[in-house]
Amino acid sequence: MTAVMDNGWHLYSQTQPADAINIPTKFSFTGNPLVKLEGAVKEVGKMEKFHDASVGASANQYSKTVNFVQKITLKAAAKTNISGTVTYQTCDDKQCLPPKKVPFKVDLG
């Protein structure tokens, strides 16, 4: 899955520093007996390590674009899908939007 942000906006990594105050991106997958998840969701993009001294908070974030990649194994040759939800938060230098939870479904096979 690819996230594309407008100029000036950013999205938070799944992994955040201890002093982070924003909501990290989180993937939740619906169980499927035909699909085996291989490891965790990987992030492919240019991570920015941000620190705001005025509020004493840090963040691992992405601007412009980031790809989230989940490696899977199909247990049988069949048409199926992988589905679930992704929770994320976006901010710019003035505001943060409330966290959003969005369902997804990717057809396989």
pLDDT tens, 38-48?
999 999 999 99
Q: Where are the alpha helices (DSSP H) in 10-66?
A: none
Mean pLDDT of the chain: 95
What pLDDT does 96 receive?
A: 92
Q: Specify the pTM.
A: 0.90
Domain ranges for the chain, please list them: 2-103
Q: pLDDT at residue 109 above 80?
A: no
The one-character DSSP state at 96 is B
Quote the CA–CA distance of 101 and 85 in Å, as a whole number: 6
pLDDT tens-digit readout, 18-27: 999 899 999 9
Domain covering 2-103 assigned CATH 1.10.1760 in the classification: no
Residues 22, 88 contacting (CB under 8 angstroms): no
The residues facing 44 across adjacent strands are 67
